[in-house]
Structure 1
Amino acid sequence: MDFTFTDHERALSKRGRDFFEQVLEPLEVVTDEHGELPDAERAPLRQKVRDWGLAGINLDKDHGGMGLSMVEQTLIEEQLGRVTNGLWSAVWRAPVSLKFGTDRQIEEYLIPSAGGERRGCFAITEPGAGSDPRQVQTRADFRDGHWRLNGEKWFVTSYNASDFIIVHAHVDGDPDKPTLFLVDKPDYYTAPPNTTHSRSPKFMHNFAYDHAELVFNDTPVPADKMLGEVGQGFELTKDWFVEARLQIASHALGAATRAAEIANAYATERRQFGRAIRDFQAIEFMLADMAVELYAAKSMLFRVAAEIDSGADRSLIHSHASALKLHSSEVAGRVVDKALQILGGRGYMRENPVERLYRDIRVDRIWEGTSEIQRNVVGGRLRKMGMSLYSDVA
């Protein structure tokens, strides 16, 4: 088994690292101070993504993307994950569910999304529905030639960087009919007709774009804006979750690697009691544990990416992606926490990247499926398939 990356793969990783260092890292402090990426920086940053050849990272060439394998995507995403304040989200990923749209929807939404001319956000979570999508109360009813959406959505990430929303609703209020709908916005900041942007609350981390709360009040949606078939919404969302969980794992480990590198360098430079603090076993053991956890988690990350590229069974991929998201997000939390401890008071200063990474990384155990939900997925698969699903080498 050859774990050596090709020259092409290493070049993609370097491009991601260079983009982080030259384009994204200089925007970290201003984004943190502003609470979001300032408006004046948004259009120039979109153009830089195109100029650097990073547009359409997750799409094939027929859809206007880069045609990268999952391993190649992961190599780039891991390097982007080094940045704080969610600035990695500036390198957009068109919603994977759009690939299952009609030819017209692909032309109208997917291909422009690949080039950054359009951008979509997902509206799934609700005040009473998160981990259990069957509890979704947003409903879609077909009347007078249009679908009508009614309900409330929370945590609509990148709403103010998007010009359309993919809304998860239950047709006729029936949880056995989960369905996705494409809702156009007049522009990045204006809500669609009969839709209220209630607020964009502040969170523990600062993020490049917002996490909006929306209320749909008989919002009209043309008949041809339904994505997929009635009742297919959960299946299309599951495909998105698999991709999102790999992306989160990549970003989490990129962030943890950066924190570990900063802590490792500081442990050599910082001297107390006449010697470098890394000479004290307490610090040395923390660094060793950080290195081992990163090594194991990254091996898992690229194994799952390679399984996707090999065309492995969809159910297997879903099972392994859950395990990966669980493990990587929790490893990252432990590594960044140790890094901050090694840095001491300096690590607690907002001007220090590790402080921002500490705030950023916490949400990775929550969004796109909490750690507890991932354990439910893994446990359920063990009950059905047995331990070999995770323990076999083949």
Structure 2
Amino acid sequence: HDGLSQESLGSAKRAVLDAGFNAINHREENGGQGFDGFQQILIEEEWGKATGALWDIPWRPAIPLAAATSDQKGRYLWPACRGERRDAYAITEEQAGSDPSMVRTTARRDGRGWVIDGTKWHVTSGDIADFFLVHAHVDGDPAKATVFLVDRDLPGVELVRTPKYSHTFVFEHPIFAFDGVRVGEDAVLGEVGSGYELTKDWFVEERIMIGARTMGAATRALDLSLAFAKERVQFGEPIVGFQAIEFMLADMAAQIMAAKSMLYRVGWQAARGGAARKQVHALASAIKLVCSETAGRVADAAVQIHGGRGYMREQPVERLWRELRVDRIWEGTSEIQRMVIGNELRKRGHEAFTGWPS
């Protein structure tokens, strides 16, 4: 794909602003819409029903920007909420994916500022961003992980290349090099050494919203499959009456019901402060794991029900199937989510997952 034209992007941006769907994840005093986490889930679920290609059109500035100083908010967060600026989170590297301690991007003090060196991969929406949240290690020390606000037009910021990916997406995921990029002392977001906590907050939000969008896509796949099965006639009758198809549809519906119930429970609980921060981190991993894997199974069944048609690019179920594959990879693979859940079990037991939410 080659994205949308500037005219189409402009039209979509105006529609987002007119509908009030910009910055739904930030408080009103920070320029956002002030929706809580549960409300955001309901909105993101609807976007997932349409296409995985458009979810980033209604922009959600990275949640760690809420930790910005007043001056930083004036330069970055507030304009980003209004759609005047666009951020991109730069954490992943060629050798640092699931293990952030492997990050090789460094920041060293130089006079009154910092010099940043490193290369970042899979920088989602980096092609339209005008500033980055760069996760770097001060003096190469993982214990001093820090997030820096880096303007794209600074000397030393270079777009290396823009790989093509399997899924449909309006924006790109380029590779960027930061070669001796000089930033001021005021480029530090939060505090030196707070990078892991800020990035964790970003991951928590992203994982829950991925859960919401995948449930929207799974529901759409079920809708399409049920409609097709009622209309498709083989051996003299609609295939919806065949037990093989009926059982597939039943499994799809039951799996969606279970995953959505889990999603709504955690969303409601987290939005109302009913879980400790560390528990929310583990619950977000459970949401992403279950919802993304459920959606993948549902989409695969949808393609099977559609037969040869399901494998045609012109069919929505083919697109949903292809788009959903990445949700088991980005913002933490399914295996990483299991590790986070396992860590919670070892340290605090299973109450967060099996207990009654407060």
- TM bin, normalised by shorter chain, reads over 0.9
Letter in 2 for 1:310: R
User: How far apart are residue 204 of structure 1 and its match?
Assistant: 1.0
Q: Deviations over 1:117-157 (max 9, x none)?
A: 11100110001101111110000011132211111110000
User: How far apart are residue 42 of structure 1 and its match?
Assistant: 1.4
Aligned CA RMSD, in angstroms, stands at 1.1
**Is structure 2 residue 302 aligned with structure 1 residue 335?**
no
Check conservation: 2:146, 2:191, Cα contact below 8 A. Answer: yes
Partners of 1:314 and 1:214 in 2: how far apart? 32
Residue in 2 aligned with 1:129? Answer: 96
TM-score w.r.t. structure 1 length? 0.89
Q: How does 1:307-386 map to 2 (within 5 A)?
A: 307-311=269-273, 312-386=275-349
Partners of 1:150 and 1:93 in 2: how far apart? 27
Residue-pair matches, total = 356
Partners of 1:267 and 1:124 in 2: how far apart? 44
Residue in 1 aligned with 2:45? Answer: 78
Partners of 2:352 and 2:54 in 1: how far apart? 35
Partners of 1:120 and 1:363 in 2: how far apart? 21
**Is structure 2 residue 45 aligned with structure 1 residue 55?**
no
Partners of 2:216 and 2:300 in 1: how far apart? 15
Q: Among 162, 187, 198, which residue is 2:129 paired with?
A: 162
Q: How does 1:231-270 map to 2 (within 5 A)?
A: 231-270=193-232
Residue in 2 aligned with 1:222? Answer: 184
User: How far apart are residue 55 of structure 1 and its match?
Assistant: 1.4
User: How far apart are residue 233 of structure 1 and its match?
Assistant: 0.4
Q: Among 97, 119, 142, which residue is 2:64 paired with?
A: 97
Check conservation: 1:35, 1:206, Cα contact below 8 A. Answer: no
Q: Among 171, 190, 193, which residue is 2:155 paired with?
A: 193
Residue in 2 aligned with 1:291? Answer: 253
Letter in 2 for 1:49: V
Q: State the secondary structure of the residue aligned to 1:231.
A: coil
Check conservation: 1:167, 1:180, Cα contact below 8 A. Answer: yes
Check conservation: 1:329, 1:365, Cα contact below 8 A. Answer: yes
User: How far apart are residue 384 of structure 1 and its match?
Assistant: 1.4
Letter in 2 for 1:43: G
Residue in 1 aligned with 2:5? Answer: 38
Letter in 1 for 2:117: N
User: How far apart are residue 85 of structure 1 and its match?
Assistant: 4.5
User: How far apart are residue 353 of structure 1 and its match?
Assistant: 1.0
Runs of 4+, deviation exceeding 4 Å: none
Partners of 1:85 and 1:77 in 2: how far apart? 10
Partners of 2:267 and 2:118 in 1: how far apart? 36
Q: Deviations over 1:215-243 (max 9, x none)?
A: 11101112111111110000001111110
Q: State the secondary structure of the residue aligned to 2:247.
A: helix
Partners of 1:215 and 1:252 in 2: how far apart? 32
> Please, which runs of 5 or more residues in structure 1 have no aligned partner?
1-33, 187-191
Identity %: 51
Q: State the secondary structure of the residue aligned to 1:148.
A: strand
Partners of 2:278 and 2:49 in 1: how far apart? 30
Partners of 2:291 and 2:140 in 1: how far apart? 36
